[in-house]
């Protein structure tokens, strides 16, 4: 196989890998999160980039807890209800959110 063809194939695989959503992003889209949140803009709740910036890389446990139990008064007057996700799903979501800063 010539070098140009190998480079083209590897480049295509890398491009495809970069467009695949992470497990956290897939959960975000599949669960009710997407009704109130976006990654980079205010919807009803704060953008996940602002959540990540506020809590930092070490904030996944706090975010996971908020996903499971809800929160009130942290980002304004509208409370976030507890979400119907498992503890494992909340952890995956929270770990993904902190990567968005």
The domain spans of the chain are: 23-100
Which of 17, 13, 15, 37 is CA-nearest to residue 27?
Answer: 37
pLDDT digits (tens, 9 = 90+) for 48-87: 999 999 999 999 999 999 999 999 999 999 999 999 999 9
Q: How far is Cα 89 from Cα 13, in angstroms, rounded to an integer?
A: 28
CA distances from 101 to 2, 46, 54, 58, 76 (A): 41, 13, 9, 12, 20
Fold of 23-100: Cytochrome Bc1 Complex; Chain D, domain 2 (1.10.760)
- Give percent of the chain above pLDDT 70: 81
| pLDDT at position 20 | 81
Residues 6+ apart with CB under 8 A from 92: 23, 24, 27
Tell me the two tokens of residue 99.
């990567």
């Amino acid at each position: 196989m010539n070098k140009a063809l190998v480079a083209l194939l590897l480049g295509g695989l890398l491009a495809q890998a970069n467009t695949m959503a992470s497990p956290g992003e897939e959960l975000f889209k599949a669960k009710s999160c997407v009704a109130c949140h976006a990654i980079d803009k205010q919807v009803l709740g704060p953008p996940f980039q602002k959540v990540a910036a506020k809590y930092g890389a070490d904030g996944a446990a706090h975010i996971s807890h908020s996903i499971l139990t809800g929160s009130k008064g942290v980002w304004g007057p509208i409370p976030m209800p507890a979400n119907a996700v498992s503890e494992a799903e909340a952890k995956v979501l929270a770990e993904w959110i902190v990567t968005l800063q």
